[in-house]
Amino acid sequence: MGRKTPSGNSLSESDLEIKVQPRNSGPEERDQRLHSRPPQIPPPNYQPYKKCLPWLVPIIIIVNIVLFIFVMYVNDCPRNSNNCFGIDFFGRYAFQDVHENPLLGPSTTTLQKLGALDVNKVVEGKQIWRLFSCMWLHAGVFHVAANMLSLLFVGIRLEQEFGFLRIGPLYVLAGVGGSLLSALFVRKKISVGASGALFGLLGAMLSELITNWTLYENKLATLLTLLLIIALNLAVGILPHVDNFAHLGGFVTGFLLGCVLLLRPQFGWVNLNKAPPGYFVASKKSKYKIYQYILLMFSLAFLLTGFILGLALLTNGWDGNAHCSWCHYLSCVPTPLWSCTEARCAVKSFFHFA
């Protein structure tokens, strides 16, 4: 039954309108409403941030592994050598004898033919491309496994943070920079491996920490941890048959490139990888500090000068050992277990490395 109006018409329940008197707000509530910040409205062209999916570093790892398999195919130890390791199991892909190559890999002749860094071929044969090709070759299974695992842990994190457009050129240029310094000092041995590029990534991590210092929490602990990792890796370079000049050249190149490619704005910057869902940046204006611009300019100047000067010295046959009597200790330090000579490092323990 509906209620009747004075005119006699019946009102349905759906026609009833309930009015509620607004509650009187106190002075504190009114003041809070007046001074509260209005909600931010995303700009019309706003798109939610998507975390960068690393793909370049995995491709680099796959390419290195595939190239190593190809090198072993070309090496064909059973056909070209009398002493092979694992011939019954691997067949054509068998390794050279462990006394010749303890890293379980091909012969030096095969590596030299496929693009290893050989100073004579670079200078006299004008094969400057070997500065690039040598970073994609490896001396053995242990060599490629160690480098690719290191690249997996270091490179993935950097590509997630900065993207492939920055990390790709950094990796390649650091590798070439390491090869260039190696060619100036390692004159009588061939050199292969991605270690120079890997040390470039470590150098870039250090410079990125320094240039973006104000953005980090636990700065000192992060710095000490990174310095310890770098020091331990460089210390390995004083062992026999490790090209520490490539490590040093790659590290310095990567450090300078990090000051150029990995800069972050210091004001209003937010790590979007760790931002809550729905977060958007109100201002896209990048704000850098003066010291960042100074580091960028000096780093660019040092990079250009270093590459131009290094290439000029290399093509003119400059020998760094003739002008630095102690520099060879940066790559091999003699101990009771091994001795360092200009031509090779001879190990006096389990194996004799050729």
Tell me which residues are annotated as active site.
Answer: 195, 247
Nearest to 106 by CA among 78, 132, 146, 130: 78
Provide the 10 A C-beta neighbour count for residue 51. 9
Stated length of the chain: 354
The C-alpha atoms of residue 182 and residue 313 are separated, in whole angstroms, by: 12
Neighbouring residues of 166: CB distance < 8 A, sequence distance ≥ 6: 261, 262
Nearest to 248 by CA among 233, 263, 260, 262: 233
DSSP at 191: B
Which contiguous run of DSSP H or E holds residue 85?
strand 84-85
316-352 burial code (b ≥16 CB/10 A, e <16):
eeeebeeeeeeebebbbbeeeebebeeeebebeeeee
